Structure 1
Amino acid sequence: MDRTGTLDVSIDDGLLALVPGYVLGLIAVPAVEVVKGAEAVDALLTDAEDELHRARLGKSDVSALPAIDAWREAYRTVGANPNRFPCAAESLLRRVAKGDRLPRINSLVDLCNGVSLGSRLPVASCDVGDITGELAVRRAHGDERYLPLGAPEAAEHPEPGEVVYADGLGRAHSRRWNWRQSDVIKTDVGHRRLVITVEAVHEGGREDVERALTRLAGALDGLGAERRQPLVLDASVPRAELFAAESAASVN
């Protein structure tokens, strides 16, 4: 694995034409030791779960949250059924709102889950140790190769027009935007090279993404991560180079 190469992340113009309010927040993490559990992260996730339990939201209440309702509309716009394929944040919120607690996976996955619950936004940790060159959020051609999370031997091809994260080698690293992650970019314990993503499509989403990024950056510092300054991509700045020079799109 090349854990030193530059990586360009971009949002395709065609996707932005369909969903012009799409915002993608990023934190490049060149090096971090992912551990099974971290006390501060577990406390953050537990607090987010407790807050959601107190809210007593039903399934329809979760779907009606402004950030989630906007994702449902965006999914419909790109031809995905949000009832069958809810965005990552809606899936987490539904599960916890009914009284469950999330399984503890590791320090980075748990951190992203906690911030996702609190912000109502899709937040993900992506291991990019095997990805250099480019990673684009775009509509699929249909010939990309996707390795399902937990079952990489059962390769799939996304449907043409489906929104995916795709690299320059023709690999798709998500299905239906952020509904599912690929096995290639899952975050395991150990020394990792990561990109943390935060996404929004609702009005005022950039501000919510920036707040989530600030919270993530502070938590990453507490975990001893080597990280870059957060970046935000949208229709005005749809591309950034990670693991290289700082970008003018950075969040102070």
Structure 2
Amino acid sequence: MLAVVPSIDPAIASLAPGFRALSIVVEAAAITDASVAGRALQRACNAVAAGEAPWAEAHLAAWAEVFKQFGAKPKRTPCSAEALRKRVLRDGTMPGIDPLVDLYNAISIQYAIPVGGENIAAYLGEPRLTLADGTERFDTLKQGQLAEESPEAGEVIWRDDHGVTCRRWNWRQGVRTRLSAEASQMWFILESLPEMPIEKLYEAGDALIDGLQQMMPGAICSQKLIGCALEETR
């Protein structure tokens, strides 16, 4: 089984001492039922309309406060879960992008939790959550063209040995490690704060793994709880 060992800079504890996340590693198999993702996305949109996540408002408000602490403006650059849920509340639906992206977006929408999906084979070294010094490289798209920029000093970033893989904690993912259905080695990170019940974090992880295994029979998944002061494997 592929081993991925994400690390968290101790400085993160001062911003979000209760931060905890599920790290899910997947050895992929062939996709035999891409419709799993579309059904999950529809269920998630229905769940938002029905208000099925009573912790959602408090959880997303807590993320907004954390973003403010490291200088981000949450109204302009909200956490990924808030951006997705706002779109669903506005449009009532979410268009499909890619089966894997649609599946983890569905989990993010339904559980009001930022979820990232990465092609871990594209990483150089292990993922780490840390504060930027402002010189790191981040590859992105501008007007449809590849471009490079740097994060602001003090910004929370995910990175590897090459550069930034996600800016402003979970706001914008880079191009280099972006996940698609062609990836054979995948890493998912489900990020939560104490306002989300821990049992719901595990429920979200189980829902993602169940969807992946329905979509890709034979996929091998493992998950680990990580955080500023805890670690647990299931």
Task: Give the alignment's TM-score, normalised by structure 1.
Answer: 0.83
The aligned runs of 1:69-108 (5 Å cut-off) are 69-108=61-100
> Structure 1 residues 79-88 or 146-155, which shifts more?
146-155
**Identical aligned residues as a percent:** 28
1:132, CA displacement in angstroms? 4.0
Secondary structure, aligned partner of 1:160:
coil
1:246 corresponds to:
none
1:209 corresponds to:
201
| Kept in 1: contact 2:3–2:25 (CA 8 A) | no
Q: Deviations over 1:22-41 (max 9, x none)?
A: 11211101224458x72222
1:66, CA displacement in angstroms? 1.0
Structure 2 alignment gaps of length 5 or more: none
Secondary structure, aligned partner of 2:129:
strand
Alignment CA distance shift 1:152-1:211 (3 Å): farther
1:134, CA displacement in angstroms? 1.6
Alignment CA distance shift 1:209-1:26 (3 Å): same
Secondary structure, aligned partner of 2:147:
coil
Among residues 5, 17, 26, which one is paired with 1:8 in the alignment? Answer: 5
| Kept in 1: contact 2:139–2:175 (CA 8 A) | yes
Cα distance in 2 between the residues matched to 1:88 and 1:21: 19
2:224 corresponds to:
231
Among residues 115, 118, 129, which one is paired with 2:107 in the alignment? Answer: 115
2:170 corresponds to:
178
TM-align CA RMSD:
2.4
2:35 corresponds to:
39
Cα distance in 1 between the residues matched to 2:41 and 2:224: 24
Q: Deviations over 1:61-106 (max 9, x none)?
A: x9x8011011011111122111111000000000001134212112
| Kept in 1: contact 2:12–2:228 (CA 8 A) | no
2:18 corresponds to:
21
2:233 corresponds to:
250
The aligned runs of 1:30-69 (5 Å cut-off) are 30-33=27-30, 38-55=34-51, 65-69=57-61
Structure 1 alignment gaps of length 5 or more: 56-61, 239-248
| Kept in 1: contact 2:2–2:25 (CA 8 A) | no
> Structure 1 residues 45-54 or 213-222, which shifts more?
45-54
Among residues 109, 114, 126, which one is paired with 2:118 in the alignment? Answer: 126
Q: Deviations over 1:142-177 (max 9, x none)?
A: 1111001575631000111111111123x1011111
Secondary structure, aligned partner of 1:82:
coil
Cα distance in 1 between the residues matched to 2:127 and 2:8: 9
Among residues 164, 173, 187, which one is paired with 2:157 in the alignment? Answer: 164
Letter paired with 2:116? A
Aligned residues: 230
2:185 corresponds to:
193
Alignment CA distance shift 1:176-1:191 (3 Å): closer
Secondary structure, aligned partner of 2:27:
strand
